[in-house]
A and B are shown apart, each in its own frame.
Chain A
Amino acid sequence: MKSDITYPLNIGPVHPAFKEPIKFTFRIEGEKVVGADIDFGYTHRAIERIAQERNYIQIIYLLERVCGICSFSHPMAYCLAIEDVAGIEVPPRARYIRTIVGELERLHSHLLWTGVAAHEIGFDTLFMYTWNIREKVLDCLEELTGNRINYAMLTIGGVRRDITADNAQTIHQVLEYYEELYNRTSEILLDDLTLRARTEGVGILTIEQAERLCAVGPTARGSGLMKDVRVDYPVNAYYEILWLKPVSPRDIGKEPIGDVYDRMAVRVLEIQQAIKIIQFCMENLPEGDINTGSGAVKMINALKKLEGEGVGRYEAPRGEVCHYVILDNQEHPVQIKVKAPTYSNGFTWAPMLTNIEIADIPIVVASIDPCVACADRMTYVQADGSRTTISWEELRAKSIQKYKGVRRQWMK
């Protein structure tokens, strides 16, 4: 094909290469991608809008469902924001438990990502392998919180479950298991020739671009931009861990250039860092209360009388999660703004996807660990195909009618 002819290539909204619906329009020149355009919005669920009609306790569980994998991070940021407005002091033990669960989540999220990345380059054995070893941390989370995902662990002013002696033993066992496996796994992930051939020099995001485009999390750190909410901003127990610093490919003696390999290295190193953080927290777990002691109804009544604005930031496995809440003497927040890591990182796809080959598109797209559901957390409700607009009230009445009908039918 002549090199001066470009043609468009549509991938998505639903495509086996991506795990979630997202639409890309590439401009292709021969085998090279010369331009990329992203279209979001295929998994909208109106979460910010729904949150305006739920009370403060219900919202925690609503926000857990912004994303299945970061199901600890979103309610965490929300609780931090509400605690910021209300000036609630979280007991030290609760802060440590929050850190432990958060790091366990990071462990399983990064293992999940390595599996997905391996799958995207066709290395399915590694995919099965990492997902198999991920089971252990999920079982640990199940024992600790009651669920494998959507932990329902957080409440405003603390956590809902304590870590008992039995739980502590399980955590120690799990950590030992991963420490033992870490060397073997990191060797496969960082030194394997197939993986290196597919990831090195692909999907480059320079440090300047990362800073300009406000990249967050492993995407930013893979480019050498030392951005980590755990270190930049005091949250949970992280500010008591003095040795904590953002990881970068420099830790394995490689100057970061911002390719897929660097982002993978950051995630692999963060698995090790997460193990260390949990060990630190288990050793230094303070005694005391795990929450403020006021029940859900009391908390709702206290927050009802408040007015103000608050910010909650938390470093999710994928990057910064930030929630902004506005309270105005109501049982519901007036506004709640949710920013997921993919929202910030989505924009970095444009430079990454330029000048790569078509076959590399899936791995480059997956390299920021996209969570489209996170970014698409709100929607507008539309009628079926006929392009007529239904108002919120009408839609609500219709759904209730439908729900009632179904219920009556089965009640008889």
Chain B
Amino acid sequence: MLGMVYKVVEQLFAKKSTNYFPSKYILEDTADTLKKGTIHPPVGVKEGFRGRLEYNVESCTGCGLCSKVCPANAIELYPAVINDKKTKRIVIYLSRCTYCQECVNICPKNSIQITTHFFMADYNKYDASLVVGLEHRKKYELKEEGSPDVQKEGN
């Protein structure tokens, strides 16, 4: 029992450790935030943490294995034209992603990489920052009449 009282007293004098949400906005505007209080840096993550995915459009071959194993159907294949060749590329909707790393493990060309980046909170889940590969899609997507703009949909 005494041990717990000791802990309670210790907690009373501990530093506050909360920040404003979403924290990514704080980093842009440090001066104003500091007027309201202090910034507590986030608790670091260890190596091996599953965070934001990164996609390399150049090395991707469009095989579609990642979208096959993705448990959340967060990976969408779309027809693309790169170097005048018809092929396929992917976009990853991070709002649906479960961060299981299956796509990273299965990719034969290591085109998808996992990072330890975890500042992803946003008010809009289809924001450009939460759809990996969106800028490539705008550039390469094959826009043909009658072709479905969405190839794979979630169940």
Residues of A within 8 A of B (CB): 50, 53-55, 57-62, 125-126, 128-129, 132, 142-143, 146-147, 150, 152, 160-161, 184, 187-188, 192, 295-297, 300, 396, 399-400, 403-404, 406-411
Distance in angstroms between the alpha carbons of A161 and B50 in the assembled complex: 12
Distance in angstroms between the alpha carbons of A228 and B57 in the assembled complex: 51
For residue B55, CB closer than 8 A to chain A, the reply is no
Q: Nearest residue in B to A295 (C-beta to C-beta)? A: B106
Contact among B7, B72, B153 for A61, CB-based, below 8 A? B72
Distance in angstroms between the alpha carbons of A128 and B11 in the assembled complex: 10
Contacts of A396 in B (CB 8 A): 155
Contacts of A126 in B (CB 8 A): 4
Instruction: Give the distance to chain A from B62, nearest Cβ to Cβ, in Å.
Output: 16
Contacts of B142 in A (CB 8 A): none
**Contact A400/B153 with A61-B71, A147-B99, A188-B4 known, Cβ cut-off 8 Å:** yes
Contacts of B45 in A (CB 8 A): 142
Instruction: Give the distance to chain A from B140, nearest Cβ to Cβ, in Å.
Output: 14
Taken residue by residue from 94 to 105, chain B's Cβ proximity to chain A (1 for < 8 Å, 0 otherwise) reads as 000011111001
Contact among A61, A152, A184, A408 for B50, CB-based, below 8 A? A152
Contacts of B146 in A (CB 8 A): none
Contacts of B50 in A (CB 8 A): 146-147, 152
Interface pair B65/A58, CB less than 8 Å apart:
no
Chain A to chain B: the 4 pairs with minimum beta-carbon distance, closest first? A61-B71, A410-B126, A152-B100, A146-B50
Instruction: Give the distance to chain B from A396, nearest Cβ to Cβ, in Å.
Output: 7
Q: How many chain B residues touch A (Cβ–Cβ < 8 Å)? A: 33
Interface pair A61/B150, CB less than 8 Å apart:
no
Distance in angstroms between the alpha carbons of A188 and B100 in the assembled complex: 38
CB<8 Å pairs between A and B, sample of 14: A55-B68, A57-B69, A58-B69, A129-B7, A129-B8, A152-B50, A152-B101, A160-B105, A188-B3, A296-B69, A297-B65, A297-B106, A396-B155, A411-B134
Interface pair A146/B153, CB less than 8 Å apart:
no
Instruction: Give the distance to chain A from B122, nearest Cβ to Cβ, in Å.
Output: 12
**Contact A61/B49 with A125-B8, A404-B150, A411-B126 known, Cβ cut-off 8 Å:** no
Q: Nearest residue in A to B155 (C-beta to C-beta)? A: A53
For residue B37, CB closer than 8 A to chain A, the reply is no
Distance in angstroms between the alpha carbons of A129 and B7 in the assembled complex: 8
Interface pair B46/A143, CB less than 8 Å apart:
yes
**Contact A406/B1 with A61-B100, A143-B46, A400-B153 known, Cβ cut-off 8 Å:** no
Contact among B49, B71, B106, B126 for A407, CB-based, below 8 A? B126
